[in-house]
Structure 1
Amino acid sequence: MESHSHDYHIDIPGTTVFDGRMAMKGYALNKMCYDFNRAENREAFKADPEGWMEKYGLRDAQRQAIRDNDILAMIEEGGNIYYLAKLAGIFKLSVQDVGGLQTGRTTEEFKQFLASQA
């Protein structure tokens, strides 16, 4: 029986595809964000973001993306939007704000786009 490799990467221009490679790249970032499901962890992060990032072993590029409040860079660094939503909330960004960033729209334009798709 012949073995087939399923090691491929989908290239969608302008889109960061969250696949196995990106899951591995973003594991520490996503683990940290998952822990933001608890309010006390969100508060601890706000009190000491550098210490919190150190605790989870984030890579330099991930730390810089967080310092810059740059959700798109976090996605490029392996962040999964479902986990990043909690971190975005700490930055006072809604899921619609992030959707606008991802699509090059303002939040209001993104909301109108979503409404037009219904």
Structure 2
Amino acid sequence: MDDKDASDRIPDTPLFDRKRSLAGYRINKMAMGLSKPENREAFRQDEGAYLDRFGLTPEEKEAVMSRNWREMVRLGGNLFFILKISAVDPVRITEIGAHQAGMDHADFLRDRLGKK
């Protein structure tokens, strides 16, 4: 990585590059499957069995089942894909942002979005 590339990095933010994309194939394929109503229902009924259909590793399964958004991204999850999970729960995108930032939701709304 040259100096220009290094200056474009955001500290503690995983770069979604080819390597991470390949590593996250299973988790992203699983998340995209949630676009279909029948898959959302299967996910609700037996989350573990649904995740097994996509061959997720134990580490990936734990990240999804605990809704550890930061870990899903670290494992190669593309945020646009893993947001499909929030359609099942549902989880507000600001809650996911707060989790990603390691902040309390109220603090995130106030400090990052200027909301009181």
Q: Provide the TM-score with structure 2 as the length reference.
A: 0.80
Deviation at 1:105? Answer: 2.7
Residue in structure 2 matched with residue 88 of structure 1 by the alignment: 86
Match of residue 104, structure 2, among 83, 99, 106: 106
2:12 — aligned with what? 14
1:30-61 Cα distance to aligned partner (Å, 9 max, x none): 01101111222111111111111111111121
4+ runs deviating over 4 angstroms: 8-11
Per the alignment, residue 28 of structure 2 pairs with 30
d(CA) in 1 for partners of 2:66, 2:96: 14
Q: CA deviation at 1:11?
A: 5.5
Sequence identity, in percent?
28
**Any idea what SS the aligned residue of 1:56 has?**
coil
Matched, 1:52 2:46: no
Query: Unmatched 5+ residue regions in structure 2?
Result: none
Q: Tell me, in whole angstroms, the C-alpha distance in 2 between the residues paired with 1:40 and 1:111.
A: 34
Secondary structure at the counterpart of residue 22 of structure 1: helix
